[in-house]
Chain A
């Protein structure tokens, strides 16, 4: 599913945001990516969705080398990955329905099918009654659930979330995590970047931990036979 081979990333000469990162994530896994602020969690996620290109090393996602993927293939790669951001990244002048189904619209899926899929995912996140609301009319937790609905509406094989509960109170954060578990049980691989230690301990999932751009610990390294 995802393989990192000795990946390096830097924004300034000799200052590495990521340094010699190698790991494997298998299909259907639920992984927490953790570490203090500045550890390189967001950079790592950006490399997966090809928002950035690594300075060195190879990254395979669904068997594609995203470091060398042609530019015109990037949209397709991103459509196969559901992404949830800490700041939700919802389009403010589009309704919940429009935000959730935007990608489906660019794929030419007709309105009836878009409605059906939007209804299903919004029901899953408990917002089926708010399809015509605009993001700013929703609470933070609701906005994050819309972002989750958008991320899963196109049935991605991989769901990536960057600090998805960072702006939420503990109850809403637990709701989102339960939702991710539910999605993972359906077979979607889930990778969640968070520094919420309580949450990680409670969920008892594989944890990849970063520190100052280096892979500090991988609780699943022995199981998956990967060198750190």
Chain B
């Protein structure tokens, strides 16, 4: 494998093939990342870089001593609230929906499409729709609340309800994706093993927990990783639905990054926040992959798995 890789890299033609992708990657990913790292050492004047001053690690000091407004640590806490909500509830609900929809029928296919549909809708447009759903005076959400005999809730204007409201919207938008990934994973699960478990007297829960779920581990790792990273970087719904408020109740790290860079023009400080977010995301990804036994499933591994299982069965 190593020899093949080295041999491929020695070929000038191979370099030509990868060059366009490499250039795009350098220009739009690596370049801006390095630039952001560099900006974080400056009090940067984005309107006139000539007026920028090098301040060393001062922006990082502001970040870690919590001197920013709002403090970095409060934005981390709010981000974690959102990430945990999305990852735990999103993953569990996505798996349940996938299990319910895994059997093939026309009706279930239609339901799968309906579940997936929100994921392909634009975040800005649907966030605006949900702002109206959560409207305290005219919203559908309060119609339901009112019908159950409770007082109206100021969903997006109350600090206690704003984040749950954004979570409900975000879960509505993301569940389709999680369910489809799990459904894909369930198609690779061995039916024979489940049958064998049933013959051995396993009930439905035992069959799921001891046979199906372990086989979904690589898919679970993928879902956890993708959901963690996208939740950490979530921005649009906070921008449209709450503007980080009320107060700073939904001011996540990602949202603050935007605020500081583009609203308050604290570009250097925002760059330091971006670097920290980058490192947190990278660390979280590595940690999750390690905890999952390094099993980041590639499409190749998902395709190979049924073949390996068939091979195991024939031997």
Query: Do chains A and B interact in one complex?
Result: no
Residues of A within 8 A of B (CB): none
